[in-house]
Amino acid sequence: MLPFTPQREAGADLDARTVGRATLLASIEDKLRAAARTQGRPHVLLVGPHGSGKTHLVEVALHRAGADPAFASRMVVVRIPEDAVGITRFEDLPRAVLEHLAASPTDGQDPLEVIDRALGERVALLVVENLDRVFDDLGLAGQRALRSWVETSGKVLLLATSPRLFPAVLRRDQPWFAGLAVFVLPALSPQEGRDLLLHSAQARADTAMVDFLLSPAGLARVHALAALTEAAPRAWTLIAAMADVGALDEVLPALLAVLEALVPQQQESLARLSPNERRLVVAMAAAGSGKVSDLAAAARLEQRTAAASLGRLADAGWVSGRKPSRADRRTTYYRLRDPMLRHHLQYRTGGDAPLPLTAALLRAHFDVAGSRAAVAHEPPTTALQHAQPDVAGSRAAGAEEPLTTALQRRDPRAAATAVLRSLRRVRAGSAVPALPGESSWDRLAALLLAAGGGDEIALLRLPQELHPLFDPLFDDVFDDPAPP
Amino acid sequence: MPYSGDVSVEWPAGTRPLSVNPGGIVPVDELVGRGSLITELLALAAPPSHGALLLGDRRIGKTSLLRAIETPLREAGHLVVRVSAETSSLETFGRALLAGLRSDRRQRSWEVDLEGEVQVSAGPGRIVLRGKGRRRNETAEVDLFSACATAARSSGEGMRVILLLDEFTVLASELDPAEGREFLHTLRRARQELPELAMFLAGSIGLHHALPGDKTGVNDLTEIHVDVLAQADAQLLAAGLLQGAGIRTAEPGEVVAAMVEQTSGFPYYLHGVAQLLADRSAPVTAQSVREVVADALEQDLWNTSHYDARLESYYGRDAAESVRAILDTVASTHAPTSPDTLLQSPPVAAQGLGRTDLLRLLRRLEADHYLRRAGNDSAFASDLVRRIWLHLRRL
């Protein structure tokens, strides 16, 4: 099984495994069907980080739209390969269409004219992955040429994906501004993550896993893993494929199995960076979050060099920045966006081993929550339209949960105290394997105490996986800077 | 219909479901509120008119209008070629024009003079088609626009080749200024010399930005101003989009009114609001319309920050501050503002603008669709742009 190569799987199989995307899929399917039946050309862009399920959704949408005879007869689906090293100029796109149509212009013939004739009344649906990179390579002239082709012919439709929104579609002075209907993929809720795991377990008749997932403890572990992975669909897919009940129950082994599976992909991604950018990425993984001067020092770079590299990393979607609302607002704190990359680097480099501690802390925290009736009785969600998790609500329903109460009162001290209690429980119960030293405990406790005292920078420096526990406080305290 | 049970107030009469498609190509039969403009444009396809120049803010619907007249013109027997000139090269433009010309068999009568593969070469003053001549080893040339005229003549009396040229200002601005001017004059000369030819031009970049101070290349064309939709049409579009997206609401009348009020009847933003509402699972109210628009402005989802950010490139660094002072003053005043009032307002006075400079900037701001002239006074082109400006400037 190749769980993260959706193009190689049958659309029907992917469709059966799809959870939590009903509204989104219906919208995309509507647009594809409309393009097959009318002169409208609603170009679509799906935006979400790597592993968020963009390719999966594209394939499912194509599969569903393909059931419509009008779509099947009128649309010619041309897939541009995900690693589109072959698409560096505008001319490469018509070439890909020509190859698909098995048409070739003779010397001097205009390829666009040949495509137009070969299509007849049909429409070429170009499926373009990583449109941000493709547009970067095309440059302004290539983007204009593509727009011109699309507008003039009326026979070309784009169904594209990108890990980020990018200036070529965001800026009003660019040819593709507002030219694509943008759908941003939300993360799956823990309940939807559990549904995905349940589907997989049921498909292979793993009754032990089904029983565990339906138990309070099972749901608690899913919540912990959701916090650790930021609920990326690819992570759930890998957990479904690789974790047994024991690994899921322990949380950390399930996460490590996912990390191991992603090693080649992470290494390939890192290899694309410049040496300076790689140093900064490693520094960010170790620090969790930091301002330019801290990261420059950690990466042993000149501050100006680090700032320029961080700008490029932000533009390319590797890092995001946050500005504290009360402290010096000129300062931006950067962090890695992809949690799995952060874990990968933290775990590979050793350091003070925050991952086992964080995993244990989250396991303990959600175990407490999981023992309460409200969480235990959450049914598996088949109502796929409820894409947004209601984690805070489910915590609130656990009436005695002090963290929930503290968050409702927007009281950082009480919230930090609640998490410290979980931390002490983990330590007392020796739920964490032997750590290389006490620094992780001490550092975490110190940050929690400082955050409890109102130090918002300390709050920001907490391991990112703990941020979901403090979300209401973060929403209040930090502003996300506008996208580039 | 899924929303019929929720309806407590009538939808506007004539409402039909429309597809939500912000920024994309809208099916011609889903165009709303452009009937009289389409009639006006179709009338301009007949002599002695040489065609029209469509003016209007970005995303107001100029491209949709070009698409809308394409079929009726073709059905009337004309040879119609629609081309997007969104390119940096005359040759690419020429190739696209040639491909359009070849797409209709009737338009290929000129090919008797050219054999083999036809090459396009574009240079100052003309676009030339080159191919093999009738005699051996002979090379033949045909002027592209003359080829158009030949095609028109061969297809019947009164027939014209009608070129619908979208984004012509992109090409004009990409060429160096002399070439850009020559390009427009080439088109103009063809219109003047060949009565069988008419052109309809549209562009998202104002011609005054592409070729500052020179309108001579288009001054034979009738200017058609494409504005926001009239209120009744905007209501029809809003209601149609709500129905098309299956958006549930218990108060359709209020929601439609809020959409029109919040977007000032700008079709692109009506589509944008409908898309944002469709992404919400809860039933929609007038308040949710106001919320999604406020969020969109706050998060800059529609890149409305461009209204401020582009001022330096549009007007130059020094004039940009004067423009901000003018817009700040007009936006903060709840009625059209006279030049005298502007000159006396502290922000404008601080810029040291004289009356002549002020009037020049006001004319530029009207051309760029920030302001409109109301008698001698100035007001924002729409309440939406005014609210965008107030938001951007935190006024």
| Set of chain B residues whose Cβ sits within 8 Å of the Cβ of A107 | 117
Phi/psi for B197 (5° steps) reads -115, 135
- Provide the pLDDT for residue A407: 65
Read off the pLDDT of residues B15-46 as tens digits, 9 standing for 90 and up.
899 988 887 778 888 999 999 999 999 999 99
> What 3-state class would DSSP assign to B237?
helix
Per-residue pLDDT of A419-433, as tens digits, reads 777 776 666 665 554
User: What is the torsional sign of CA A42, A320, A442, A418?
Assistant: negative
A39 touches chain B (CB under 8 A): yes
pLDDT at A200 over 70: yes
- Per-residue pLDDT at A418 exceeds 60: yes
- Predicted TM-score of the model (pTM): 0.74
Of the candidate ranges B143-147, B189-193, B274-278, the one whose mean pLDDT is the lowest: B143-147
Q: What is the pLDDT of residue A353?
A: 58
Cα distance between residue B88 and residue A90, in whole Å: 13
- Least trusted range by pLDDT, from A85-89, A155-159, B176-180, B246-250: A85-89
pLDDT for the residue A44: 93
3-state SS, residue B144? helix
Widest pairwise Cα distance in chain A: 79
pLDDT for the residue numbered A83? 59
* Statement: residue A484 has pLDDT above 50: no
Residues of chain A in contact with residue B28, where contact means CB-CB under 8 angstroms, are 39
The β-bridge relationship of strands B126-132 and B115-123 is antiparallel
Mean pLDDT of A80-89: 71
User: How far apart are the CA of B226 and the nearest CA of chain A, in angstroms?
Assistant: 19
The tokens 């081993």 sit on which residue? A353
CA distance A421 to chain B (A): 38
Long-range contacts of A205-213 (CB under 8 A, 24+ apart): A208/A245, A209/A244, A209/A245, A209/A248, A212/A245, A212/A248, A212/A249
pLDDT at A383: 25
pLDDT of B4: 36
**What pLDDT was estimated at residue B317?**
87
Decide if A41 and B25 are in contact by the 8 Å CB cutoff: yes
The residues, ordered by sequence, that sit 6+ positions from A331 with a Cβ below 8 Å of its Cβ are: A291, A323, A324
Q: Comparing B140-149, B179-188, B359-368, which segment has the lowest mean pLDDT?
A: B140-149
What count of other Cβ atoms lies within 10 Å of the Cβ of residue A371?
Answer: 13
Residues in chain A: 484
| Alpha-helix residue ranges (DSSP H) falling in chain B | 35-43, 62-75, 90-102, 144-154, 168-174, 177-193, 207-210, 231-244, 252-263, 267-278, 286-298, 306-309, 311-315, 317-332, 339-344, 346-349, 355-367, 383-392
pLDDT at residue number A440: 61
CA closest to B203 among chain A residues:
A175
Say what the pLDDT of residue A325 is.
Answer: 61
Q: A20 and A192 in contact (C-beta within 8 Å)?
A: yes
Over residues A350-370, mean pLDDT: 72
pLDDT for position A435? 47
A104 touches chain B (CB under 8 A): no
Residues of B in contact with A177 (CB under 8 A): 23, 303
Chain B from 279 to 298: CB within 8 A of any A CB = 279, 281
- With CB atoms and an 8 Å threshold, state whether B27 touches A39: yes
Instruction: Return the pLDDT at B105.
Output: 67
Per the CB < 8 Å rule, is A152 touching B167? no
pLDDT of residue A2: 40
CA distance B271 to chain A (A): 10
In angstroms, how far is CA A32 from the centroid of its own chain? 24
Average pLDDT, chain B: 87
Confidence band for A85, pLDDT divided at 50, 70 and 90? low
Residues of A in Cβ contact (< 8 Å) with B310: 172-173
d(CA A19, CA A32): 20
Q: Is some CB atom of chain A closer than 8 A to the CB atom of B83?
A: yes
Please give the Cα distance from B179 to B191 (Å, whole number). 18
Cβ pair B238, B271 in contact under 8 A: no
B278, A180: Cβ pair inside 8 Å?
no
d(C-alpha B380, C-alpha B376), whole Å? 14
How many C-beta neighbours within 10 Å does residue B225 have? 11
Share of chain A above pLDDT 70, in %: 76
Task: Note whether B60 contacts A: Cβ–Cβ < 8 A.
Answer: no
Candidates B26, B88, B275; nearest CB to A144: B88
The pLDDT of residue A380: 36
**A368, pLDDT greater than 70:** no
Mean pLDDT of B145-153: 82
> What pLDDT, on the 0 to 100 scale, is given for residue B177?
84
Which residues are paired to A76 by β-bridges? Answer: A124
pLDDT of amino acid B112: 62
Closest to A101 in 3D by CA, of A111, A91, A109, A86? A111
Chain B residues with beta carbon closer than 8 angstroms to that of A152: 82-84, 96, 100
Considering only CB atoms, B24 lies closest to which of A27, A43, A482, namely A43
Q: Which tops the pLDDT comparison, A262 or A85?
A: A262
Please tell me the distance in Å from A311's CA to the nearest CA on chain B. Answer: 20
pLDDT in the model for residue B359: 96
Local confidence band at A61 (pLDDT 50, 70, 90 cut-offs): very high
pLDDT digits (tens, 9 = 90+) for A303-339: 899 999 988 888 777 888 777 666 565 678 888 888 8
Question: Which residues in chain B are contacts of A23 at CB distance < 8 A?
Answer: 279, 281
| Partner B, chain A 167-186, Cβ-Cβ below 8 Å | 170-173, 175, 177-181
CA distance B280 to chain A (A): 9
Which residues of chain A neighbour B116 with C-beta distances below 8 Å? Answer: 108
Q: How far is residue A52's CA from residue A186's CA, in Å, rounded to a whole number?
A: 8
A179 vs B114, higher pLDDT: A179
In A, which residues are within 8 Å of B22 by CB distance?
178, 181
What mean pLDDT is predicted for residues B65-83? 92
Q: What's the rounded Cα separation, in Å, for the pair A37 and A43?
A: 15
Statement: residue A452 has pLDDT above 80: no
Quick one: DSSP state of residue B107? G
Compare B221 and A233 and report the one with higher pLDDT. B221
A181·B21 Cβ contact <8 A? yes
Give the angle subtended at the CA of B47 by the CAs of B43 and B49, to the nearest 5°.
70
Query: Could you tell me how many CB contacts below 8 A there are between chain A and chain B?
Result: 117
| Average pLDDT estimate for A214-219 | 90
- C-beta atoms of A175 and B22 within 8 A: no
**pLDDT score at B108:** 66
**What's the pLDDT band for A439 if we cut at 50, 70, 90?**
low
Higher pLDDT, residue B216 or B348? B348
Average pLDDT, chain A: 78
Tell me the C-alpha distance between A160 and A183, whole Å.
10
Q: Are strands B139-143 and B126-132 parallel, antiparallel or unpaired?
A: antiparallel
Residue of B22, B63, B310 with shortest CB distance to A173: B310
Query: What integer pLDDT is reported at residue A16 of this predicted model?
Result: 77
As a three-state string, the secondary structure of chain A is CCCCCHHHCCHHHHHHCCCCCHHHHHHHHHHHHHHHHCCCECCEEEECCCCCCHHHHHHHHHHHHHCCHHHHHHEEEEEECCCCCCCCCCCHHHHHHHHHHCCCCCCCCCHHHHHHHHHCCCEEEEEECCHHHHHHHHHHHHHHHHHHHHHHHCCEEEEEEECCCCHHHHCCCCCCCCCCEEEECCCCCHHHHHHHHHHHHHHCCCHHHHHHHHCHHHHHHHHHHHHHHCCCHHHHHHHHHHCCHHHHHHCHHHHHHHHHHHHHHHHHHHHCCCHHHHHHHHHHHHHCCECHHHHHHHHCCCHHHHHHHHHHHHHCCCEEEEEECCCCCCCCEEEECCHHHHHHHHHHHCCCCHHHHHHHHHHHHHHHHHCCHHHHCCCCCCCCCCCCCCHHHHHHHCCCCHHHHHHHCCCHHHHHHHHHHHHHHHHHHCCCCCCCCCHHHHHHHHHHHHHHCCCHHHHHHCCHHHHHHHHHHHHHHEECCCCC
Q: Of A198-207, B113-122, B317-326, where does mean pLDDT reach its minimum?
A: B113-122
pLDDT tens per residue, range B349-378: 999 999 999 999 999 999 999 999 999 999
Task: Inform me whether the pLDDT recorded for A400 exceeds 50.
Answer: no
**Percent of chain B scoring above 70 in pLDDT:** 93
